[in-house]
Amino acid sequence: MHLKGSVAVVTGAASGIGEALVERFSVEGAVAVVAADRDVVGVEALAARLAGGPTVVEAVGCDVSEEAAVRDLVDGTVDRHGRLDLMVSNAGYVTVGGLEAPDEELRRMFDVHVMAHLYAARYAIPHMVANGGGHLLNTSSAAGLLTQIGSLHYSITKNSAVSLAEWISITYGDLGIGVSVLCPQAVDTNITANSPTAELIPGAGPSGAASVDGVLTAAELADTVVEALADGRFHVLPHPDVAEYVRRKGDDVDRWLAGMRRFQQRLFTDSPMPADWLLS
């Protein structure tokens, strides 16, 4: 997947990873990038900032948890630009909690982290196949390949996002549909500040666990995305250590689980939050 001359859609584009991808796709020579987000003011500011360049950047309000909104986003892009080459389903958020967390919280997160990817594929793939091919980039997390200490719902939904991307790749790859799944660890964005449970996140909670191999800027992550798309890679791993962790998990899952338990204990031993906070 090469970005020069392409038409792309990016959801969750008002800030963080989505914003950085819109900026980088513009630099790479995309013809048009549709920046979509519930935060209409944010994507409008992004489009205004990038106005006047060679890439048309459009701001569209979209709640990706609503199927009709994703359908209209995809169909509207094709109506205005004639095609859709790259669909980036990126919107997401994090919460803290375990078995006690409300079921409705899990359902809401599943809508954003899984169903939104499904809707994007459902409506983008027919257009792409008719046009000879296209590419889906779904944002998951290293947690989707491993797990997220401190967040049951994030772990479940991000793992589901990876599984969905694998299924789409297998099912539609022979029809010219490329699929990539973005699985970073910690990135310097506002995902923690925007969490519905931000007040529960300790210094060594989920964000601390993810930052063990360093915190990337969103622009640095965008570099890896562009390289991975050009190579046609399924796993997009801005933190290279994740590949080794996945290998270890596959080689001996019992040893990996034991290691994760030790890692969790170290995190909460060093944190001011009591070790039994997950059970509260």
- Where in the sequence numbering do the catalytic residues fall? 154
Instruction: Identify the residue whose tokens are 């969750």.
Output: 12
User: At a CB cut-off of 8 Å and minimum separation 6, what does 230 contact?
Assistant: 1, 2
Closest by Cα among 187, 189, 196, 211 to 263: 211
Q: How many CB atoms lie within 10 A of CB 193?
A: 8
The strand order across the sheet containing 177-182 reads 56-61, 32-37, 7-11, 86-89, 134-139, 177-182, 235-236
Give me the residue label for tokens 């020069």: 4
> What gap in Å lies between CA 206 and CA 102, rounded to an integer?
18
